[in-house]
Amino acid sequence: MINADMNEYWNGDGGKKWIKFHHIMDRSLMPFGTKAIEALGLSTGERIIDIGCGCGGSAFDMAHSVGPYGHVKGIDISKPILKLARSRAELRMKPEARNSITFEHADAQNHHFVLADVDVVFSRFGVMFFDDPIAAFENIRKSLKPGGRLAFVCWKTAMNNEWIRLPLDVVAGHMPLPTPPEADEPGPFSFGDINRLKRILSSAGYSDIEIAEYEAPFKLGENINEAVSFVTQIGPVSAVISQPEVDTSTRYSIDAALHEEFSSYETKAGVNLGASTWIVTAKNP
């Protein structure tokens, strides 16, 4: 199953934080999800599974693309996040279109998918957390019809992503950073190695594997205060400074230093830093 720590995190503090900042996450992640969706070339009537669907942003977009005769099933391990996704569907989808989208609590690594049931599997930053990624992607592939398509977007390494690297560099000026996770340890940046990513998908039985780099700005906030609030409450910086051994004085110093650093990046378009991803497509033979 998915990493037990991840399961606990997303159904606890992680889920609460994601819900709190879901408006920022949807806004900031949308360009990357849209790029991966474009790679699919969706048609009306297609059936889709959205893995790690979060609060439903990409699922809503795809539901509009496949129309009332298609269907999008969003799955996620976080019950609190799914609750918000369902409530958003009630608000965002016209009554006659609501049957075209559903949300289900499931772990894609061991969920019993209906075999050869869907045309497309999609994910926006939701497939990097499996304990056994080969087994997970093999299980996911079984849900695809012959010739069915997989598309997802995932982060390159943390060091390739300025929106992660720069805030952590600021923190490092005030306290030692913990040892980084191993490159293949489940987590948001575990697919940074393109060769490992190709091996995983090939071993899981996929064909026509294509991986393309895609870079775009990541919007941390509309202003400096929102950007600092965001990075100190969700993501790697939050994980470091929330440790019990970090005293209040150090946290205040880091907060002030982040305000100063982000002042160099604030424009009328907000606070934007560079982000680097892989857009991945493949097929079920």
| Cβ-contact 212, 38 below 8 angstroms | no
pLDDT at 93: 80
**What pLDDT sits at residue 250?**
97
**Reported pTM:** 0.95
Q: What is the pLDDT of residue 105?
A: 97
In DSSP terms, 150 is beta-bridged to 121, 282
Taking the C-alpha atoms of 42, 189, 57 and 97 in order, what is their torsion angle to the nearest 10 degrees?
40
Rounded-to-integer distance, Cα 92 and Cα 55, Å: 12
pLDDT score of 92? 83
Sequential pLDDT tens for the chain (285 residues): 456 777 898 999 989 999 999 999 999 999 999 999 999 999 999 999 999 999 999 999 999 999 999 999 999 999 999 999 999 998 888 777 778 999 999 999 999 999 999 999 999 999 999 999 999 999 999 999 999 999 999 999 999 999 999 999 999 999 999 998 898 999 999 999 999 999 999 999 999 999 999 999 999 999 999 999 999 999 999 999 999 999 999 999 999 999 999 999 999 999 999 999 999 999 999
How do strand 144-155 and strand 270-283 relate by DSSP bridges? Answer: antiparallel
Which domains does the chain carry?
4-157+182-216+276-283 (3.40.50.150)
* CA neighbor of 63 nearest in space, from 98, 33, 38, 28: 98
Please tell me the distance from the alpha carbon of residue 113 to that of residue 102, in angstroms, as a whole number. Answer: 15
DSSP 281: E
pLDDT at 2: 56
